[in-house]
Amino acid sequence: MTKVVLEIRTSPHVLSGNSVDSIMFNVVLALLPVTGFAIYAFGLTALATLCTAVGSCVGFEYLLCKLSGKDSTVGDWSAVITGLLYGLTLPPGLPLWMVCVGGVICIGVGKALFGGLGANPFNPALVGRAILQATFPVPMTTWLDPFRPDRFAAVLPSSLTAPFTRPEVVVDAVSGATPLSAWKFGGQLTEAADLVMGYTSGSTGETCAVLILLGGLWLVARKMMNWRIPVSILATVAALSGAVWLLDPQHYPSPLFMLLSGGLMLGAVFMATDMVGSPLTGRGCALYGVLIGGLVVVIRLWGGMPEGVMYAILLGNAVVPHIDNWLRPRVYGTSRKPAPAGAKEGS
């Protein structure tokens, strides 16, 4: 007689076959072109920054697992992703000891404090960068010109600054402003072609928009990214900034400039789409993207800072539980309208 075993499980009943480590590894692959261009544009200084960011995140996660007596989670690639994204948001010449401190914050405060992978409400890489921005405002807003002739000769002295000492700045290598700050405080607009190809100063990995978009398309094609989030963010930024630009083109930048400048592309494609910190439903993802895009435009145009992507995404992460609660899908077989008072369930 054949024995039949009936297995009863909760949803989901249909699985994609993708594991956490395979998804994370594909995100690493999607970021490789952006990472390669960052090293090409800023040289050994960017390479040192990225290696320190990834190494500090992976090392501190391994240390936390050992101290807590748990199996190491380094092999799931999540710490690598956090370190890589965190490093791509930093100025290339940031002192390496500050980069290391921020990596510890990313894992310790942004991830482990909330229970580890899958429990963190905020993007860990942005948590680390936000704390560094508040703690070290001057180094975090000191930028380098890309494509310096000597960029592969040596790491800049500012990166090798000893802890708690004033960074040594090489004047010839320092750029006056990023495209956003040049517009915000000087009224100067950068050519769209330079923004697309990454011929501008800025954070290590935010300059080349076309490579960021190609990485996002790879993940969408692999069904490892919800396309609604970046599309709704970029569409909202284009619509709102375009409306303001049409009303007063002399004082406000074009929507193309708003889309291609700063960290918007990197944030929309790789930061806001974090599966843990984004909504569960399609409608929720669209609303989440609209919220982030609207905050980016408001902060950039009327805030005191030239850039607002980091804060917009973190605020969006904070609202995600409410979005999931407001836009819960209807349970099959039930009505969207609340049952009348005193009515029995199922009647």
Mean pLDDT (the chain, rounded): 88
The verdict on residue 340 lying in a domain is no
> What distance in Å separates the CA atoms of residue 231 and residue 312, rounded to the nearest whole number?
16
pLDDT, tens digit, 9 for 90 and up, residues 133-176: 999 998 998 888 889 998 999 898 888 888 888 776 655 556 65
The verdict on residue 325 lying in a domain is no
The verdict on residue 165 lying in a domain is yes
Q: Which residues pair with 174 in a beta bridge?
A: 144
> What distance in Å separates the CA atoms of residue 107 and residue 58, rounded to the nearest whole number?
8
**What integer is the mean pLDDT of 250-255?**
93
For residue 198, what pLDDT is reported?
85
Q: How many residues does the chain have?
A: 347
For residue 245, what pLDDT is reported?
96
Lookup: tokens for 215 = 């990485």
Task: Identify the domain containing residue 133 by its residue range.
Answer: 20-175
> What distance in Å separates the CA atoms of residue 148 and residue 155, rounded to the nearest whole number?
12
**What integer is the mean pLDDT of 303-322?**
94
Torsions phi, psi for 153 (to 5 deg): -85, -40
The verdict on residue 3 lying in a domain is no
Handedness of CA 230, 234, 237, 240 (dihedral sign): negative
Tell whether the model's pLDDT for residue 307 goes beyond 70.
yes
The verdict on residue 84 lying in a domain is yes
* Total structural domains within the chain: 1
Residue 175 DSSP symbol: E
Three-state DSSP class for 143?
strand
The verdict on residue 195 lying in a domain is no
The verdict on residue 72 lying in a domain is yes
> What distance in Å separates the CA atoms of residue 41 and residue 145, rounded to the nearest whole number?
9
- Rounded to the nearest angstrom, the gap between the alpha carbon of residue 340 and the centroid of all alpha carbons in its chain is 45
pLDDT > 70 in the chain, percent: 87
> What distance in Å separates the CA atoms of residue 112 and residue 125, rounded to the nearest whole number?
13
Categorize the per-residue pLDDT at 208 as very low, low, confident or very high, splitting at 50, 70 and 90: confident
For residue 232, what pLDDT is reported?
97
The verdict on residue 81 lying in a domain is yes
